[in-house]
Amino acid sequence: MKKIDTHLAGCFIIVPEIHRDARGSFFESFRQDHMESFLGAPIHFVQDNQSQSEYGVVRGLHFQTGQYAQSKLVRVLEGTVLDVAVDLRPQSQTYGQHVAVELSTENQHQLFIPKGFAHGYAVLSPTATLFYKVDQYYNPDFEDGIAHDDAALHIDWKLPVSHRKLSEKDVSLRNLTPKQ
């Protein structure tokens, strides 16, 4: 496994070493020791989540607050998504900035998103199955989100607006509060 840092501190891409032959392929999708080496600290994932969506679905931008803030390790099992993380850490030099990474069956890249970030993705293939680990349990009383189309974020979702499919909840999300 190889770590590729993004311009957002603590948010990074993991590229696996894929072994291919005539039978197919093999790779390690997660190793605790490598993850902790990349982070420079222990991490304990407590919940695995999986979602399946069709082309044009945009989910997010979601996060949890307070003691239920989550770090996430995201990968695609099938298809292609544009995975987006937005820095919401108030003291961060990169507050309000984002990273957008294409995750797919072909590249098998993963994105690590630390606590203090919003997360969302857009499905670019006919269907996609996303799988992610989190280090804090889901708690609906602590969930929040920001609008995926907030003009201040400048996110290119790689989808025409007319093809985007959002949940009622995601349509009603607010824009990001400017840094004080």
Answer yes or no: 62 catalytic. yes
Contact 141, 67 (CB under 8 A): no
Is 128 a member of any domain? yes
176, part of any domain? no
For residue 164, give its domain range.
Answer: 2-171
Question: In CATH, what number is assigned to the domain containing residue 72?
Answer: 2.60.120.10
Domain for residue 178, yes or no?
A: no
* Amino acid (1-letter code) at residue 124: L
What is the rounded distance in angstroms from the CA atom of residue 54 to the CA atom of residue 150? 23
Token digits of residue 4: 């590729």
The pLDDT value recorded for residue 180 is 65
- Total residue count of the chain as it appears in this document: 180
Q: Which of 19, 62, 137, 138 is catalytic?
A: 62
Catalytic residue flag (residue 132): yes
Name 71's Cβ contacts closer than 8 Å, sequence gap at least 6.
43, 112, 113, 114, 115, 134, 135, 136
Query: What sections of the chain are H helices per DSSP?
Result: 32-39, 168-171
Q: Which tens digit of pLDDT belongs to each residue from 103-151? A: 999 999 999 999 999 999 999 999 999 999 999 999 999 999 999 999 9
**Which residues of the chain are modeled with pLDDT < 50?**
none
Catalytic residue of the set 98, 121, 132, 148: 132
